[in-house]
Amino acid sequence: MPNDSVSYQKSGYFSSLINDYLDEKPQVRALYNRFPSIENFSAQIDEKSLNFPLENRLILSQTIEKQYKDFIISNATQQNIIALKDQNTFTVTTGHQLNLFSGPMYFLYKIISTINLCKKLKQEYPKNNFVPIFWMATEDHDFDEINHFYFKGKKIIWNEVSKGPVGRNNTNTLDEVFQIIDIEFGTNENSKILKTIFKKTYLEHDTLSDATRFLANALFKEDGLVIIDGDDIDLKNLFIPYSTKEIKEQTAFNCVTKTILEFNSYTIQVNPREINLFYIQDEIRERIVYEKGLYKVNSTNISFTSDELFKLIQNQSNTISPNVLLRPLYQEVILPNLCYIGGGGEIAYWLELKSMFESFGVTFPMLLLRNSVVITTQKQEQKADKLGLSWNDLFSKQQSLFDNKTRELSKQTLDFSEFKNNLTLQFDSLKEMAKSTDSSFLGAVLAQEKKQFDGIEKLEKRLLKAEKRVYKDALERIFILQNELFPNQGLQERKENFASFYIEYGETLITKLKKELDPLKMEFTIITM
């Protein structure tokens, strides 16, 4: 199979905003601080060094140690937690929802991108330490987004009800899910390993937060990964000045609204609210809204005066949760962070936030698109070779792929461009002739021109359709192969769980990913197993 590369920009899977960002187009330059090239990290290190208090480092390290107190961790992770106290230590961060059994494959790609970037930075800047951080989205409340995963196309779902922050969810009903995977995963040695991991993750930990920490630690502890839960009063105390400013000045709303107005040619990922904070308890995570002189908790009878709300923020900061716009700010306040690694949608909403960060006086991190991967087999590559398919072919839209391959296979001339060019010349002559006669003749010429071109278009489509029937067998093989690699005509990484591949390849899967993923390479990584 041709070893062609597929850039993110040409893959068809990213928005115009992300494509323009990757191309460093002038029209998006105002939306970010520095582009994530290895040489640009030097200035980012200098800026963050001057804008991150030592006391925050001490609180951060101590809090993480507390969060890990019931976990067995590697020496590499322990040393990284200690290193966070050092002014020469910086972080690279990624984050993810608490999806059941990690959710889609890109869970792995996010974390490995982060680990590998830290390694690259250490080589380039040996005087500094770089710690890979996995930020658990424990305060999210959209349980329907995380209560399932796909194994070889089958949806495995956790039938539970959740209203509050998902990280506080009890795992006591996940034994029912284990009964399902006990059957679905099969009986080989890799299956047994995965079943053991699932049991230890979800049946030996009480909350979804602790379970997810265990899972990520089990997979990446030897890489020094540090996992953080932002739903912590000691960390939220550091955010009190920012929550207070948000309430008083509606900073996020004003800044992000202005950014959206200035860059309205792009699809907006997230719209700001006048107050971008939630009130949380174990069974509640609801927006704070301002109505008739009171701060109310949406969909409840809870309300506060301004003084009461500020006292709440000051004395019970753990009841306040930043929303999707302020969560990045919270992250950068508590971490000595240089770079955030995320998917296209995440990077798109981060790009709305730079002016907000400036208003709060917090350094805006570099933004890096995570590695994207297609996993294939030698057998699938052999099939592609026989069918004359490149990776650019396989990434194209299915209808377009069928059209192009039919034209390539056909012995007929399926491109009617020459006929259309001849028609254009003929009607250009007629339109010149019409200039010297009355307007009704010109109208007749234009009407006939449209009729003729419509007819040619119909004939072209009809011939193409007829030829597709001739090459039905070849197109069917193309259809099957593309759907294997791109389930439901989408990216494999956004659908399948890592278990779908781990059962066949075991630890080799993760080892190979660590070896082959280059976080600064802006193209899809094709991995042959």
Per-residue HEC secondary structure of 288-319 comes to EEEECCEEEECCCCCEECHHHHHHHHHHCHHH
Give me the residue spans of the domains in the chain: 389-497
Return the closest-CA partner of residue 118 out of 103, 108, 105, 128.
128
C-alpha 85/C-alpha 59 separation (Å) is 9
Residue 122 has pLDDT above 70, yes or no: yes
Share of the chain above pLDDT 70, in %: 91
Over residues 99-111, the pLDDT tens digits come to 999 999 999 999 9
pTM: 0.90
Euclidean distance between CA atoms 392 and 49, whole angstroms:
43
- What's the pLDDT score for residue 264? 77
Q: Does residue 214 surpass a pLDDT of 70?
A: yes
Is 186's pLDDT higher than 60? yes
Task: Find, among 70, 104, 77, the residue nearest to 206 by Cα.
Answer: 70
* Amino acid making up residue 23: D
Summarize pLDDT for 405-460 with one digit per residue, the tens.
Answer: 877 766 565 566 666 666 677 766 666 677 777 767 777 767 767 776 666 667 66
Percent of the chain with pLDDT over 90: 81
pLDDT band at 171 (very low <50, low <70, confident <90, very high): very high
Q: What are phi and psi of 367, to 5 degrees?
A: -120, 120
CB of 4 closer than 8 Å to CB of 519: no
Q: Indicate the DSSP class of residue 524.
A: P
Residue pair 17/270 in contact by the 8 Å Cβ criterion: no
Residue 165 confidence (pLDDT) above 70: yes
Q: Is 491 strand, coil or helix?
A: coil
Query: In the predicted model, what is the mean pLDDT of the chain?
Result: 92
pLDDT category, 366, cuts 50, 70, 90?
Answer: very high
pLDDT digits (tens, 9 = 90+) for 265-282: 899 999 999 999 999 998
Question: Residue 239 above 60 pLDDT?
Answer: yes
Contact yes or no for 109/512 (Cβ under 8 A): no
Alpha-carbon gap, residue 365 to 330, rounded angstroms: 12
Q: Does residue 333 or residue 404 have the better pLDDT? A: 333
| Beta-carbon-side half-sphere exposure of residue 250 (alpha carbons within 13 Å) | 11
